[in-house]
Every structure is written in structure tokens, then in C-alpha cells.
């Protein structure tokens, strides 16, 4: 690097450090409105091109914006795009961009000789979206979100404020897909400046900007003073000064920190503390009412057991026995006693509450006599007098699998449970090494097509989400037809038909439709809840 450029980078680094620092060295975290939460899983990267799971999506939601976003009711609303239009005949989406969106202040934008509040940043333009989308398809980047672009024919910047996307064919859920963090805008300057270290030096446009990261210890974001969104009264967002994320490795330790007032919220219900926090009726225990409040809502997550139909195992190949298993246990009791009522028994299809198509069909309810009849029918059909199955799971869901085990053994189905680490379970599930596996499906985008894609035969794992290797020609035909229809009412009819096929053929055992549950410190207000259980902090307030 030329000496002049080196000196420039060093000098601008110190100037930028001064600009983004707290200002008063004597001030502590207690002097700021800091929202504190724990991530018990590791955050692998802060590059949105790899935002494949909640561990990465939650912090990325604070750092980045895309063309469009979802509100808490799953309506698609403006983000950096202030408006858009769709040409159905050419499958073209035209987005008109805001002209007041700046990237986070960062040394990557340093311009020699320029002195202004925006010296270390610049405005977002349509070419930035071209660059960001290019990264998704770049084999050198190897983004886990490259599949998002499978529907796209081409895209271009018509001018600085107009970005256009043309699809290969109609895809009604495309706008919802664009709300994913994969589709966030990032600046070329920062990606090139940091190279492989962009993962730990993120630069976006979001309400908070990166401050520091001691991996597996602490991650801190600071308020973005140039953030473009305002509340309904015209006040600048965000309200908080900072976000602080810790990395305690287990949920019990996380709960203890929350109970001591050292964390501002915890998400979800873990067996290690569920009875401590909740009554059997799903209400907050009285002793915690002065510390916290609870908010709940539908969560686009279906918990299920999957049958790998690519196996030669007699029990798995038998639709009769698969149906018997579905009838053989009480989902209502399972949710009441193992989840303290925090969930909806999956007595319909695979589509969860919160999406069009939910509850349109009857699924499996607890019918032990019907289950016994089907088991006897299975024995007659196969000559197998002692059916045996093995369920693969991780320790977090052992209680659910043990409940199913006890109930099925009452019906004379022998059940073995194989407990393994989550990473092993994912790998073996993907490679077809487990006859039965416990799994969940959380919506990538808010459309029932995302759930039904698990049963489309071209989506066989490991290249797609069809971990069951389910194949049904009628289902495939209806699925392909649904992709060509824009009107939601017509699509809903097709979704219901596909869900009915899944129930009849029983490649899965739906357990329950999840609920999002959050326990929030009473000093915090404005923390909503949404069916994707994403963490959105720009509207959150906190009292000292």
C-alpha cells in the first residue's frame, strides 16, 4: 500500500474512533439506555449474505435494511423502497428508493480533504442493491442465501433511485422473500476494505451500528445517528442508545441473569425454567410479576417428526403404520404438560396458525382405538408382529420424544430414542441416515408455499428441504400450478389440497404449531412480537 494511503487510513481511523466513541470516558453502560439480551448459540457472522438462522438474523435486523420489510402482522411495507410497482405480464418489479438513507459511518468511506458530518459515509443508491444481489450469486462468496435468486432472471439499476427485478416466471411470494435479511443492502467500499473480515466489521444502514465484538463473550451496537426512519409522531428512531449481546452457553444461566435484572428479555420456553416462570395454565408466576411481563403470539414454526421414506425399513414404508403413529398420542396433553400451554396442538395439517390455509382441513387427533386397528392392519399387511421404530432428536426436545415413546409403547410399538448433538442431527437428517427425526420448520418468508415446499419432490435433501424424500405426482402438479397464481384466494384453495395430501400420506407427524413467547423486563416498552419471532429493537424504549 502506498505510504500516503497508509497514513490516510491510520489518521482517519483515529478520527472515526473519536466520532463513534462514547464521548466521555467516565461514562459507563449504566449512563445509557442499553437493551441487553443473551444469545446462547454462537453468532457465526454479521454478514447478511449468511443470515440463515435466528442467531444471525436477530443482530442483522438491527444493522441492515432491504427494499421492503414486514410489520408485526406480516404485511409487506416500505423500507428503503418508498414505493414499488409490479408488471404481471413481464414479471417485473420496479422499486423507487428513498434518497435519505446513509450507510453507517465507517473508515471504509474516508475521503481525503472532505470535512463534513457525512465524510465517513454516503447515500444508498440503486447500484448498491445490484452489488448486494451480485454477492448472493457469487460463487466466491458462497452465500447460504443464493437460492433466493433462483427465481430471478435479471436485475439492474435504472438510475440512482430506481431498482428493477425481473423474474423468470411468476412467483407470488417474491415480495415476502425480499424481506429476508439475505436481501439487505451493503456497501462495496466496506466489503472490499475489510475483505474476509467484513463478517466481524459489518456496515449497513440499520438503526444500530457496529461498535465491538469479543466473539463468544460480548457484542455491542450503538445508535445510528443518521438512521432514516421516524416514529408516527416524527421522532427519530431508534430510542435506545445501544444493544449489548452476551453469550452465556445455556438457557438456565440465561434465565438466572434475567431473574437478577441483568438481561432485559428472554425468548422462548425451556424445560429448565418453564415451571419456575409459568403456571400449568401458562400464566406468569406471581413472584415474577414485579420484574417482568409476558407477551405471546402465533409463531410460524411447525414442530414435527419426519419419516425418511427413502429407507427400506418396513415400518417407515407403511402408510398404515405412519397413520397409526399419528393417531396414537394426545397432542393436547403434550402441549399442556410439556409446554405449559405455550403452543397449539397440531390437529390440522402442516401449515401453522398465522398463514392462509391453516385449519382448513382436519388432521390427526388422539384416537387410540383407531391407532390399534391400523397397527393390526399393518401386522396383517406385512407379517411384522412387533413393529419397532427409532426417533433421532437432540436433548432440547427429549421430553417431547419420550412422551410420544410412552404413548406408542402402550399400543405395542417399540420406540427407541437416539439423542445426539444438534449438528449431528442436522447432518444425519440431511443425508437420510435417520428413519425418524424430530424437526421444525420456521418460515423463511410469510407464505404457506414455504411450508409446502418441504414435500415437493425436486426439493429432496440435501439440495432442498424435503428431508422426508416424499414423492407424490399429484402434489407436485398442484404445487407447480400454485406458483403461477397471484390471487391469494385461489392459492389458498391449492394450499389446502396439498396439505390434505400430506395428511393422508403421513410422511410426517405434526406435533404442535409453536407460539412465540417473550419475557420482558418492566423497564422495557415497545417490544412487539411477530409470527416469525424476529427481534426488532428500533421502536423499543427503556427507563433507567
Can you give the three-state secondary structure of 267-314, one letter per residue?
ECCCCCCHHHHECCCCCECHHHCCCEEEEEEEEEEEEEEEECCCCCCH
Is there a domain that residue 265 lies in? Answer: no
Chain-centroid distance, C-alpha 110: 35
Are 340 and 473 contained in the same domain? yes
What are the backbone dihedrals phi and psi of residue 344, each rounded to the nearest 5 degrees, phi first?
Answer: -120, 120
Is there a domain that residue 88 lies in? Answer: yes
Q: What is the DSSP letter of 105?
A: P
Are 15 and 107 contained in the same domain? yes
Residue 469: CATH number of its domain: 3.10.105.10
Cis-peptide, bond into residue 462, ω within 30° of zero: yes
Are 135 and 27 contained in the same domain? yes
Are 484 and 535 contained in the same domain? no
Angstrom distance (rounded) from CA 263 to CA 336 = 28
* Contact of 520 with 537, CB cutoff 8 Å: no
Rounded to 5°, the CA angle 36-42-47 comes to: 90
* Contact of 516 with 297, CB cutoff 8 Å: yes
- How many domains, in total, are found in the chain? 2
Virtual CA dihedral for 187, 190, 191, 192, nearest 10 degrees?
120
Residue ranges making up the domain that contains 26: 3-246+523-542
Angstrom distance (rounded) from CA 333 to CA 512 = 11
Is there a domain that residue 277 lies in? Answer: no
Are 74 and 213 contained in the same domain? yes
Are 236 and 304 contained in the same domain? no
Angstrom distance (rounded) from CA 222 to CA 245 = 12
Is there a domain that residue 123 lies in? Answer: yes
Q: What is the pLDDT along the chain (544 residues), one digit of tens a residue?
A: 443 344 344 444 444 444 444 444 434 556 789 999 999 888 999 999 999 988 999 999 999 999 999 999 899 999 999 999 999 899 999 999 999 999 999 999 986 545 555 679 999 999 999 999 999 999 999 999 999 999 999 999 999 999 999 999 989 899 999 999 999 999 999 999 999 999 999 999 999 999 999 999 999 999 999 999 999 999 999 999 999 999 999 889 999 999 999 999 999 988 888 899 999 888 999 999 999 999 999 999 999 999 999 999 999 999 999 999 999 999 999 999 999 999 999 999 999 988 888 878 999 999 999 999 999 999 999 999 999 999 999 998 999 999 999 999 999 999 999 999 999 999 999 999 999 999 999 998 999 999 999 999 999 999 899 999 999 999 999 999 999 888 889 999 999 999 999 999 999 999 999 999 999 999 999 999 999 999 999 999 999 8
Task: Count other C-beta atoms under 10 Å from residue 466's C-beta.
Answer: 20
Are 472 and 327 contained in the same domain? yes
Angstrom distance (rounded) from CA 310 to CA 538 = 46
Are 371 and 496 contained in the same domain? yes
Q: Which residues contact 503 (CB under 8 A, 6 or more apart)?
A: 349, 361, 362, 363, 364
Are 215 and 358 contained in the same domain? no
Are 317 and 442 contained in the same domain? yes
Are 79 and 124 contained in the same domain? yes
Angstrom distance (rounded) from CA 330 to CA 368 = 9
Give the largest CA-CA distance in the chain: 86
Cis-peptide, bond into residue 87, ω within 30° of zero: no
Amino acid at each position: 500500500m502506498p505510504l500516503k494511503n497508509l497514513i490516510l487510513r491510520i489518521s482517519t481511523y483515529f478520527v472515526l474512533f473519536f466520532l463513534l466513541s462514547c464521548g466521555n470516558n467516565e461514562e459507563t453502560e449504566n449512563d445509557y439506555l442499553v437493551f441487553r439480551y443473551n444469545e446462547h448459540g454462537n453468532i457465526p457472522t454479521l454478514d447478511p449474505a449468511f443470515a440463515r438462522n435466528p442467531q444471525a438474523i436477530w443482530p442483522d435486523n438491527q444493522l441492515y435494511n432491504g427494499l421492503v420489510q414486514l410489520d408485526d402482522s406480516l404485511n409487506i411495507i416500505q423500507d428503503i423502497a418508498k414505493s414499488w410497482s409490479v408488471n404481471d405480464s413481464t414479471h417485473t418489479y420496479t422499486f423507487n428508493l428513498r434518497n435519505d438513507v446513509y450507510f453507517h459511518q465507517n473508515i471504509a468511506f474516508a475521503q481525503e480533504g472532505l470535512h463534513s458530518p457525512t465524510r465517513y459515509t454516503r447515500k444508498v443508491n440503486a447500484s448498491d442493491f445490484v452489488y448486494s444481489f451480485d454477492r448472493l450469486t457469487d460463487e466466491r462468496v458462497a452465500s447460504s442465501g443464493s437460492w433466493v435468486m433462483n427465481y430471478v432472471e435479471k436485475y439492474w439499476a435504472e438510475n440512482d433511485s430506481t431498482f428493477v427485478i425481473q423474474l423468470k416466471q411468476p412467483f407470488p411470494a417474491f415480495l415476502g422473500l425480499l424481506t429476508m435479511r439475505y436481501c439487505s443492502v451493503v456497501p462495496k467500499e466496506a466489503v472490499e476494505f475489510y475483505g474476509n473480515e467484513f463478517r466481524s466489521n459489518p456496515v449497513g444502514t440499520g438503526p444500530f451500528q457496529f461498535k465491538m465484538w469479543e466473539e463468544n463473550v460480548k457484542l455491542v451496537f450503538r445508535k445510528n445517528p443518521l438512521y432514516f426512519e421516524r416514529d408516527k409522531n416524527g421522532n427519530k428512531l431508534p430510542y435506545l442508545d445501544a444493544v449489548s449481546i452476551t453469550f452465556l452457553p445455556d438457557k438456565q444461566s440465561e434465565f438466572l441473569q434475567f431473574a437478577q435484572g441483568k438481561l432485559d428479555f428472554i425468548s422462548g420456553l425451556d424445560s429448565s425454567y418453564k415451571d419456575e416462570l409459568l403456571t400449568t395454565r401458562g400464566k406468569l408466576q406471581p413472584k415474577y410479576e414485579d420484574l417482568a411481563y409476558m407477551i405471546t403470539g402465533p409463531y410460524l414454526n411447525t414442530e414435527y417428526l419426519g419419516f425418511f421414506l427413502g429407507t427400506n425399513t418396513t415400518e417407515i414404508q407403511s402408510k398404515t403404520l405412519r397413520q397409526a403413529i399419528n393417531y396414537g398420542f394426545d397432542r393436547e396433553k403434550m402441549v399442556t404438560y410439556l409446554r405449559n400451554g405455550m403452543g397449539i396442538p397440531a390437529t390440522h395439517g402442516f401449515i401453522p396458525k398465522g398463514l392462509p390455509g391453516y385449519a382448513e382441513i382436519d388432521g390427526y387427533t388422539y384416537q387410540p382405538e383407531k391407532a390399534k386397528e391400523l397397527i393390526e392392519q399393518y401386522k396383517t399387511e406385512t407379517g411384522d408382529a412387533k413393529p419397532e421404530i427409532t426417533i433421532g432428536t437432540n436433548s432440547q426436545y427429549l421430553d417431547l420424544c419420550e412422551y410420544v415413546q410412552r404413548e406408542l409403547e402402550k399400543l405395542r410399538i417399540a420406540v427407541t430414542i437416539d439423542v445426539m448433538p444438534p449438528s449431528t442431527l442436522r447432518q444425519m437428517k440431511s443425508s437420510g441416515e435417520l428413519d425418524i427425526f424430530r424437526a421444525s420448520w420456521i418460515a423463511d418468508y410469510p407464505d404457506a408455499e414455504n411450508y409446502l415446499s418441504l414435500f415437493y419432490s425436486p426439493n429432496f435433501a440435501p439440495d432442498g428441504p424435503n428431508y422426508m424424500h416424499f414423492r407424490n405426482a399429484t402434489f407436485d402438479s398442484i404445487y407447480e400450478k400454485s406458483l403461477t397464481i397471484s390471487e391469494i384466494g385461489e392459492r389458498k384453495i391449492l394450499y389446502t389440497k396439498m396439505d390434505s395430501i400430506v395428511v393422508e400420506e403421513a410422511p410426517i407427524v405434526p406435533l404442535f404449531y409453536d407460539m412465540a413467547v417473550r419475557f420482558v423486563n418492566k423497564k422495557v416498552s415497545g417490544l412487539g412480537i411477530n409470527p416469525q419471532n424476529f427481534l426488532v429493537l428500533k421502536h423499543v424504549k427503556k427507563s433507567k
